[in-house]
Structure 1
């Protein structure tokens, strides 16, 4: 009898606790950072905005990795060839080197001289259009992740004039940092979006998996204008690389801001975009650029041959007849609506 009395008391306590628990409400923070927008949505009983603390995190990461910020750690390295890294720079550089090894140099943060040469950097070259071949060859001589030496927290360039540009991976890292910050506040349901690179955890306010829009040109269209497609994002990260944001056209060829560190050429293949889903946004962002440079066939083959990275990808590309087509890895469609 005493057991049943205790059980009844326990059930009553649990019922009262559930009744007293405040409801979770949707809180949204929006702003501008890292040259783009950010949107952070989360469910919390405490509706006090976390935006000031979120902005502070962006500030800390910019002091480490922003090429636009005078005195940032990355600018110190590029000016002197050596720097004592903080935790943010070290995490990004180490991940970048691992990705370079995995892709055999198709991803390489030492691509900075080429990015600037093609006119996609902080400063612009004196000419417009395709750079001279001798300039490309000269810039290529400074490019190579093997020219970076990591010794503890110290990053050193072992070849003079080697510089780094982490823009191809830093936003994905930032997204995950913001996600971890939210979890440290006891938040278990959230969506973080920094310039189109996203991560999601838990459920939205409708108690469903977070759904996001991706830029997805309609199949059969002959234009480059993207429309929205919906993707479910269950505790994953997603990143997109495309040729429809930063580019220039010369003749009938479009040259995009993604630079091949092996050939020194700006992206000018038939790929319009690749959207990558991975276990976290950091990983998705690290692989979206190399996958777009690989192209559809080699990119999908890379994903199939490297299950350890847990990647799925959707390619949008221009077919031989000029229409827009799609191709994706085996597991990507399960996220699509």
Structure 2
């Protein structure tokens, strides 16, 4: 029996040795991307990967004039394409599960606070402006009817930036699978999907943000993944300060307020990148204790999370769900 096991291990090693690590990287969707995979065929897949980015942008990019999402925001309805359909359905599902803490109709509020496509820093909007804008927000104001996406009232607009990069990561992962590639790491702007192992026959190791005692900014940590996705959302990159309060780009869809809680970052792992990407903002809004309780109460979602936050005296701390650092 030992001989059989040894032979199997040697064959696995030879199989891995016959493959090479291929890396593709570049700029897309306003950020970077990196695709790393093992293959005997080292012919670059860059043209196909970048074609996928262009297809998704034509569907979901707010920055591309004439995109499908912009046509919806400017009109009343659209016929959803192969990319918009799964993103909208997933967004509505996450909205229901989180009680509306994740909501793609938050776009009017994002624009109002100055974090949208047209950036501005006018400061905190007046309460009356926030209340007026909230009347155009709510995932229940969208209607999916067969292939159509419709608005239940005028003025509803959607922003899929909180889920689209995770979706893109998954699309590229499925493309690699379709080419017979079983060992890969896909990273689109920090939304990652890992499958299989690296060229050393070890789980993929990815950088994450961990606690750092002497500053509000996180430091680098590491996470090992074999069949898992990871996404991080933080409040230290896009924000403005006013009246001693720091307002970050995450907007609460129920109150209309830009978030100003004690969370620095939350890193989420999930079975796929779209799920991790969608839930990271909701978990920030829930906060540390409620967020970790939400994960325990919904084991069917397959979520794990690491919070970095400031306690009452300003000390930077971290807290994470039970299985977060297990090889996943």
Q: Provide TM-score, normalisation by structure 1.
A: 0.91
* Structure 2: 5+ residue stretches without partners: 1-9
Instruction: Quote the Cα distance in structure 1 between the aligned partners of 2:286 and 2:192.
Output: 23
Runs of 4+ in 1 over 6 A off after TM superposition: 18-22
What is the aligned partner in structure 1 of residue 58 from structure 2? Answer: 63
Would you say how many aligned residue pairs link Structure 1 and Structure 2? Answer: 318
Q: Partner residue of 2:127? A: 133
Partners in 1 of 2:191 and 2:254 — Cα distance? 25
The answer on whether the counterparts of 1:22 and 1:45 sit within 8 Å (CA) in structure 2 is no
- Alpha-carbon deviation of 1:252? 2.3
User: Are 1:327 and 2:319 an aligned pair?
Assistant: yes
Q: Cα deviations across residues 242-276 of structure 1 (Å, max 9, x unaligned)? A: 00111112232211111100000011100001000
Tell me, in whole angstroms, the C-alpha distance in 2 between the residues paired with 1:123 and 1:326: 34
* Residue among 230, 234, 257 paired with 1:238: 230
Distance 2:119 2:181 in 1: 43
CA deviations on 1:184-218 (whole Å, 9 max, x unpaired) are 11100000001111000000011100010012232
Q: CA RMSD in A?
A: 1.8
Give CA deviations for 1:287-321 in whole Å, capped at 9, x if unaligned: 00000000001101111111110100000001111
- Aligned match of 1:286 in 259, 264, 278? 278
Q: Distance in 1 between matches of 2:188 and 2:61?
A: 15
Q: CA deviation at 1:323?
A: 1.1
Q: Does 1:91 align with 2:86?
A: yes
Please say which structure displays the higher CA radius of gyration: 1
Partner of 1:297: 289
Equivalence for 1:211: 205
Q: TM-score, normalised by structure 2?
A: 0.94
Change (3 A) 1:133 1:290: same
Q: How far does the alpha carbon of each residue in 1:69-89 deviate from its partner, in whole angstroms, 9 at most, with x for none? A: 001000000000210110110
Unaligned runs of at least 5 residues, structure 1: 1-14
Give, in whole Å, the separation in 2 of the partners of 1:258 and 1:54: 29
Query: Are the aligned partners of 1:117 and 1:124 in contact in 2 as well (CA < 8 Å)?
Result: no
> Aligned to 1:129, what secondary structure does the other structure show?
coil
